[in-house]
């Protein structure tokens, strides 16, 4: 599972010329699932995302989480995070199949929403994403499926 986390002043996602998700200060997160990802990876990265300290405190140090600032999260499904570019045209064979990925995205959104306000994109839709990156601050988070954890 991969996340591209951006600290934002605001962000929104549009489908068919309608805004389907919009947040003010918080995190806009692209979410991708690998072929072997399960709820274990989603649980791990939900905790990590919510506790990630990338907002400044009173001393201008990145020391506060999205929870600490009472921020919001916009989650965008993004299977292309698992694209490989061995040749000029990307291949997505490492991405989780759409049916399973859709369910896992729903699970991840619900998991995060237990602790904070979450808006979301639409799985499988063509989306236009707008954001005002604050900083800019962009962090990559990843949790790969590990066979030893599953045995």
Catalytic residue among 33, 55, 79, 105: 79
Q: Is 114 a catalytic residue?
A: no
Q: Is 149 a residue whose pLDDT tops 90?
A: no
We report the CATH number of the domain holding residue 141 as 3.50.80.10
Take residue 61 and report the two structure tokens written for it: 């140090």
pLDDT of residue 87: 84
Catalytic residue among 33, 78, 105, 123: 78
Catalytic residue among 39, 80, 84, 138: 80
Beta bridge mates, 133: 8
Number of domains in the chain: 1
What percent of the chain clears pLDDT 70, i.e. is strictly above it? 95
The overall average pLDDT reported for the chain is 94
Q: Which domain holds residue 43?
A: 2-150
CB contact set of 66 (below 8 Å; sequence gap of 6+): 26, 27, 49, 50, 52, 55, 72, 73, 116
Each residue's pLDDT tens digit, 55-114: 999 999 999 999 999 999 999 999 999 988 888 888 898 999 999 999 999 999 999 999
- pTM for the whole structure: 0.93
| Residues 105, 31 contacting (CB under 8 angstroms) | yes
Q: Is 33 a catalytic residue?
A: no
Average pLDDT over residues 13-40: 97
pLDDT of residue 3: 98
Q: Is 119 a residue whose pLDDT tops 70?
A: yes
């Amino acid at each position: 599972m991969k996340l591209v986390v951006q600290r934002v002043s605001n962000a929104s996602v549009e489908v068919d010329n309608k805004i389907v998700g919009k947040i003010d200060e918080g995190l806009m997160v692209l979410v991708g699932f690998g072929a072997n990802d399960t709820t274990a990876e989603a649980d791990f990265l939900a905790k990590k995302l919510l506790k990630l300290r990338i907002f400044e405190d009173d001393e201008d140090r990145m020391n506060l989480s999205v929870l600490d600032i009472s921020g919001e999260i916009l989650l965008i499904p993004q299977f292309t995070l698992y694209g490989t570019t061995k040749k000029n045209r990307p291949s997505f064979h490492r991405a989780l199949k759409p049916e399973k990925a859709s369910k896992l995205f729903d699970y991840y959104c619900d998991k995060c929403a237990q602790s904070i306000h979450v808006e979301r994109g639409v799985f499988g839709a063509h989306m236009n994403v707008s954001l005002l990156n604050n900083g800019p601050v962009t962090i990559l988070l990843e949790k790969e499926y590990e066979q030893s954890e599953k045995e």
